[in-house]
């Protein structure tokens, strides 16, 4: 209840949550509310010269160069972005949480080895590494999700490692050890619950980064492949028609911007609420 009350006091966070809920509802209900099939090519969506139709009563956001309804493709593209965002970011948070917690708890040679590997992964530019990994495999929705997870877990691991190092020196952990508690009890009963607020915050903030990275990979042609709709590949397919049909780029760009911004607003609010050091500064 306290978290909900503090969250509702932040207008920007409420705005972000409303947008996120609208995107989620639109993605889940896409087959029910989309006026057409995502790959349906409509003769009414093209002019006699073969140019796409702009926004009108029949096509609220216009059509693309193949006569497909843009609103429909944006709704189904939201499903792609959210699936990749949740799966990729959830996997990244789980890997980062496990690696960081083990390294911080074990310390010594094992912990140092895990963190040196993390540092090695952080040395590679995330976008460049994602492009290389995506190019090595046949791009698909699930391959793209795993590629993004493989490049995004390192930040979580570094944060969790630092927090775990501080936790294992706390008096209640030392008391548990003196009472003979095993490693499993200490980790799962005491260390992990203290790390969950960090995991929740990074899980929310990371979705925004994941959506942007997926759109970037799809725009570069190594992400989700057509005809499966993705906000990134919608822009990629339409970039050369920006001057004659700007709605093909503007509307998916707005969708990416609002979704990423909204997840960031929600994540920032959760960080302020769940982090006791941030609460002291409010």
Contact by Cβ (8 Å): 129, 70: no
C-alpha of 243 from chain center: 30
Q: How is residue 46 annotated by DSSP?
A: B
User: How far from 99 is each of 108, 154, 182, CA to CA, in Å?
Assistant: 14, 9, 19
Contact by Cβ (8 Å): 45, 52: yes
Phi, psi for 178 (deg, rounded to 5) = -65, -25
Residue linked to tokens 């099939």: 37
Domain boundaries defined on the chain: 2-29+65-279
CA distance 249 to 233: 10
Phi, psi for 187 (deg, rounded to 5) = -65, -50
User: How far from 116 is each of 21, 44, 103, 154, 182, CA to CA, in Å?
Assistant: 39, 59, 10, 11, 27
Residue linked to tokens 């889940």: 28
Alpha helices in the chain (DSSP H): 2-8, 11-28, 30-33, 70-106, 108-123, 126-136, 141-167, 171-178, 183-186, 192-219, 231-238, 247-274, 276-279
pTM recorded for the entire structure: 0.85
User: Quick one: pLDDT at residue 257?
Assistant: 92
CA distance 186 to 168: 9
Per-residue pLDDT of the chain (282 residues; tens, 9 = 90+): 777 888 888 999 999 999 999 999 999 999 999 888 988 888 888 886 778 888 887 888 988 888 899 999 999 999 988 888 889 999 999 999 999 999 988 888 888 999 999 988 888 887 888 888 777 777 778 888 888 888 889 989 999 999 898 888 888 888 877 777 777 788 888 888 888 888 888 888 888 888 888 888 888 888 888 888 889 889 988 888 888 888 899 999 999 999 999 999 998 888 888 765 555 444
Residue linked to tokens 């972000």: 16
CATH topology of domain 2-29+65-279: MetI-like fold (1.10.3720)
β-partners of residue 69 are: 63
β-partners of residue 52 are: 46
First to last CA, the chain: 19
Q: How many CB atoms lie within 10 A of CB 31?
A: 12
CA distance 216 to 221: 9
β-partners of residue 46 are: 52
């Amino acid at each position: 209840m306290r978290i909900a009350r503090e969250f509702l006091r932040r207008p920007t966070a409420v705005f972000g949550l409303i947008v996120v809920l609208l995107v989620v509802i639109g993605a889940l209900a896409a087959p029910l509310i989309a006026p057409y099939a995502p790959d349906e090519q409509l003769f009414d969506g093209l002019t006699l010269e073969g140019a796409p139709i702009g926004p009108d009563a029949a096509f609220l956001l216009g059509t693309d160069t193949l006569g497909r309804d843009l609103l429909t493709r944006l709704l189904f593209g939201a499903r792609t972005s959210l699936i990749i965002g949740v799966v990729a970011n959830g996997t990244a948070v789980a890997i980062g949480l496990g690696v960081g917690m083990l390294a911080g708890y074990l310390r010594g040679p094992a912990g140092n080895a895990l963190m040196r590997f993390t540092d090695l992964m952080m040395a590679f530019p995330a976008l460049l590494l994602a492009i290389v990994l995506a190019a090595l495999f046949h791009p698909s929705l699930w391959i793209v999700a795993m590629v993004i997870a493989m490049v995004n877990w390192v930040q979580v691991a570094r944060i969790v490692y630092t927090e775990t190092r501080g936790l294992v020196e706390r008096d209640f952990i030392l008391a548990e050890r003196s009472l003979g508690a095993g490693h499993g009890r200490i980790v799962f009963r005491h260390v992990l619950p203290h790390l969950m607020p960090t995991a929740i915050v990074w899980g929310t903030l990371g979705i925004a980064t994941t959506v942007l990275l997926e759109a970037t990979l799809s725009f570069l042609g190594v992400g989700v492949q057509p005809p499966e709709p993705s906000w990134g590949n919608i822009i990629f397919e339409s970039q050369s028609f920006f001057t004659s049909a700007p709605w093909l780029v503007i509307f998916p760009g707005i969708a990416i911007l609002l979704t990423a911004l909204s997840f960031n607003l929600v994540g920032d609010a959760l960080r302020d609420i769940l982090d006791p050091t941030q609460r002291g500064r409010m």
